[in-house]
Amino acid sequence: MISMACNIAGVPFKNPIIMASGTFGFGREYAEFYSPELLGGIVGKGLTLHPKAGNTGSRIHETASGMLNSVGLENPGVAAFLKDELDDMTHWNTAVIANVGGSNLEEYVQAVAMITENAQKRRTMNRRGVDMLELNISCPNVKQGGMQFGIQTEVAREVVRQVRNVTALPLVVKLSPNAENITQMAVMCEEEGADGVSLINTFSAMKIDIRRRRSVFANTYAGLSGPAIKPIALRMVHQVAQAVSIPVIGMGGISSVEDIIEFTMAGAAAIQVGTYNFVHLHAGAELVHGLEQWMQREKVQSLDEIRGIL
């Protein structure tokens, strides 16, 4: 009897396939095509304390084996998320992860405190709340905040420390490949009490419209994701997994069952799927079924048998 189940920081996942922030909305849109209950978990759209309109102009550009995005954290804000989205998300029997960003330290802390308080209140009413937090210190697409916290380890330390002080919810920190030293960053997260790290977010990148002689994006740079970044993501997950003892959630261009196996062998406790959701509308369901079939075919009872074997 095979089992795809895994546990990260006390949160049970029925399988290791989690939909990445910003690629799955809050689940509602994809629920019209397949049940989110098939999935291990869903990371909601990146939240900030206050609503954010996001960037103007072009937000998407396709590249060789990847895509650039400059959405700029458009989101309804934490209060609207808790009021309008969370009931639907927790209605599905899958782990709910809130991704939280901020323009400054206070915003991070307030946003996390609000979500934590909400989860506690819901628990007293026997209702599910957010199961886990993913701290976004790595969004490259907003002028203020986001990635500035994710580049320097000692700057990031303060965010992780202060957020850790206001929440008992399982806390995963999403790391940027643009960090000066991603391994040091992960070690710092562990030192400051994070329950896990997820990596990698998008690479800061660029596309120039040579006819108009300007960047395609109003914000000049954008975030590169997709299969193009997978080999680098895999290397970073491998390095980080060897440096920390907390779980590592791997992501970056995962587009097949073979990719999931690679990340698992590199040490990932679970994985996130992002850009591939756009390539195939049913990507999540396809990967869950595909992973199960692979495990049966290869006679792998549990992914623990292959996790971190490199």
Binding residues: 21, 45-46, 69-73, 99, 136, 174, 200-202, 226, 252-253, 274-275
Nearer to other proteins by Cβ, of 6 and 71: the residue is 71
Q: Which two tokens stand for residue 266?
A: 């590199």
208 binds other proteins (CB under 8 A): no
- In whole angstroms, the minimum distance from the beta carbon of 241 to other proteins comes to 27
170 binds other proteins (CB under 8 A): no
Q: Which two tokens stand for residue 228?
A: 């193009």
The count of other CB atoms within 10 Å of the CB of residue 8 is 26
Q: Which of 9, 25, 122, 302 binds other proteins (CB under 8 A)?
A: 25
- Euclidean distance between CA atoms 220 and 205, whole angstroms: 9
- In whole angstroms, the minimum distance from the beta carbon of 279 to other proteins comes to 5
Give the bridge partners for 206, in sequence order.
221
- In whole angstroms, the minimum distance from the beta carbon of 252 to other proteins comes to 14
H or E segment and range at residue 88: helix 86-91
60 binds other proteins (CB under 8 A): yes
Nearer to other proteins by Cβ, of 177 and 227: the residue is 227
Q: Which two tokens stand for residue 17?
A: 């396939």
Nearer to other proteins by Cβ, of 72 and 196: the residue is 72
DSSP one-letter code for 47: B
Q: Which of 8, 18, 39, 71 binds other proteins (CB under 8 A)?
A: 71
Q: Which of 37, 62, 87, 158 binds other proteins (CB under 8 A)?
A: 62
Nearer to other proteins by Cβ, of 142 and 169: the residue is 142
Q: Which two tokens stand for residue 76?
A: 């309804």
- Contact letters (x/-) for other proteins, 215-244, by CB under 8 A? ---x-------xx-----------------
33 binds other proteins (CB under 8 A): yes
- Euclidean distance between CA atoms 160 and 4, whole angstroms: 30
Q: Which of 287, 12, 245, 38 is nearest to 132 (CA)?
A: 12
- Contact letters (x/-) for other proteins, 267-286, by CB under 8 A? --------x-xxxxx-----
Q: Which of 59, 164, 174, 207 binds other proteins (CB under 8 A)?
A: 59
DSSP one-letter code for 44: P
Residue 281 has phi, psi (to 5 degrees) of: -55, -35
- Contact letters (x/-) for other proteins, 39-58, by CB under 8 A? ------x-------xx-xxx
Q: Which two tokens stand for residue 217?
A: 């994006």
Beta strands in the chain (DSSP E): 6-8, 11-13, 17-19, 41-43, 60-63, 66-69, 95-100, 132-136, 171-174, 196-199, 203-206, 208-209, 214-215, 221-225, 248-251, 270-273
290 binds other proteins (CB under 8 A): no
Indicate the pairing of strand 95-100 with strand 41-43.
parallel
Provide the annotated binding site for substrate. Answer: 45, 69-73, 136, 201-202
* Candidates 49, 96, 135, 139; catalytic one: 139
Give Rg (Cα) of the chain. 18
Q: How many CA atoms lie within 13 A of 174 on its CB side?
A: 27
Residue 139 annotated in active site: yes
Catalytic positions are 139
| Interface positions with other proteins (CB under 8 A) | 22-25, 29-30, 32-33, 45, 53-54, 56-62, 64-67, 69, 71, 74, 218, 226-227, 275, 277-281
